[in-house]
Amino acid sequence: MTTTIQPLGEYVLLSPIKQEEKTASGLYRPETAKEEKSQQAIVESVGNNDSISKGDRVLFKKFSGEEFEVEGESFIIVKNEDIIAIIK
């Protein structure tokens, strides 16, 4: 990414993780499940938040944030309070 996006205040910039077509057990996901958006993402940049940092894998609320594209890459910007957990 050549453009730098720095969230302000209580916002966090996320890069969504795409769902795999096949589950870990080898089953293929049905088309209806593929349409559902993943709630997992990688933190790209952080405003005012000491509990998460760039590179963390997080789980965020289902209908939160604003989705947008910059230079062909998809991003979501959410409030700190919309991040539910850090996945380790």
Q: Is the dihedral of CA 68, 74, 80, 81 positive or negative?
A: positive
Q: Is 58 a domain residue?
A: yes
Q: Is 34 a domain residue?
A: yes
- What CA–CA distance (Å, rounded) separates 83 from 65? 10
Domain with 66, as residue range(s), is 11-87
Q: Structure pTM?
A: 0.79
Q: Which of 62, 75, 71, 73 is nearest to 11 (CA)?
A: 75
Q: Is 4 a domain residue?
A: no
Number of domains in the chain: 1
Cβ contact 7:46 at 8 Å = yes
Q: Is 22 a domain residue?
A: yes
Q: Which of 35, 10, 6 is nearest to 21 (CA)?
A: 35
- What CA–CA distance (Å, rounded) separates 72 from 78? 19
Which CATH number is 61's domain given?
Answer: 2.30.33.40
pLDDT tens across the length of the chain (88 residues): 468 899 999 999 999 997 666 666 777 766 665 555 679 999 999 999 889 999 999 999 999 999 999 999 999 999 999 999 999 9
